[in-house]
């Protein structure tokens, strides 16, 4: 299986399908006030780079890099459950790290669910370590914060 990660429009049908599945999953696990997913239109903003990962069957995952000026934030990371374990998540994270370096960002940060253990392991494998809340986030029972220096 060949994986290809490329910039995409978050308003495309593949992106909407994956983002819809991601948002539904998050809302099934966490109260709305603990879900920080960006809308499709927010992901189309100029300061955000949105990526899709494809395998031989089509789009199987997505992720985004929000340029916050002094750091980048990983957003909207999601891999279709049927494709988990394929390396798609790692491919997206690697591409987002590369994009952050291209933009001259010194640090990447992210917020993820407290019990999304496979995501925690993915980020740790890619050099992310725990940190405190950042930006507009507040400490809460459902959030884990991580960062990685570039």
The three-state secondary structure class of 25 is helix
20 domain-assigned: yes
With CA atoms as reference, report the closest residue to 21 among 74, 67, 73, 83: 83
The four Cα atoms 95, 62, 147, 35 give a dihedral, to 10 degrees, of 170
40 domain-assigned: yes
Residue written as tokens 């640090």?
A: 107
Q: What is the pLDDT of residue 98?
A: 98
Question: Which tens digit of pLDDT belongs to each residue from 62-107?
Answer: 999 999 999 999 999 999 999 999 999 999 999 999 999 999 999 9
**Whole domain around residue 48: which residue ranges?**
4-106
Query: How many domains are contained in the chain?
Result: 1
Q: What is the pLDDT of residue 89?
A: 96
| The two structure tokens encoding residue 66 | 């929000």
CA distances 83 to 7, 15, 53, 140, 141, Å, are: 19, 15, 11, 30, 29
94 domain-assigned: yes
Beta carbons of 42 and 10 less than 8 angstroms apart: no
Question: Which tens digit of pLDDT belongs to each residue from 26-69?
Answer: 999 999 888 899 999 999 999 999 999 999 999 999 999 999 99
What is the Cα–Cα distance from 62 to 43, expressed in whole angstroms?
11
Domain CATH number, residue 100: 3.40.630.30
67 domain-assigned: yes
Q: What is the pLDDT of residue 35?
A: 87
65 domain-assigned: yes
**pTM for the full predicted model:** 0.95
125 domain-assigned: no
Question: Which tens digit of pLDDT belongs to each residue from 97-150?
Answer: 999 999 999 999 999 999 999 999 999 999 999 999 999 999 999 999 999 999
111 domain-assigned: no
134 domain-assigned: no
The residues pairing with 7 across neighbouring beta strands, listed in sequence order, are 51
């Amino acid at each position: 299986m060949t994986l290809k990660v490329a910039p995409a429009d978050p308003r495309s049908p593949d992106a909407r399908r994956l983002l819809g599945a991601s948002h539904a999953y998050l809302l099934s696990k966490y109260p709305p006030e603990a879900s920080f997913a960006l809308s499709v239109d927010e992901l189309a903003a100029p300061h955000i780079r949105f990526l899709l990962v494809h395998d031989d069957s089509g789009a199987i995952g997505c992720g985004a890099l929000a340029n916050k000026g002094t750091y980048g934030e990983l957003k909207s990371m999601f891999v279709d459950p049927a494709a988990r374990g394929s390396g798609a998540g790692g491919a997206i994270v690697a591409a987002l790290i590369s994009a952050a370096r291209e933009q001259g960002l010194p640090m990447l940060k992210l917020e993820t669910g407290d019990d999304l253990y496979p995501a925690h392991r993915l980020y740790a494998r890619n050099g992310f370590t725990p940190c405190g809340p950042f930006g507009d986030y507040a400490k809460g029972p459902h959030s884990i914060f991580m960062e990685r220096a570039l």
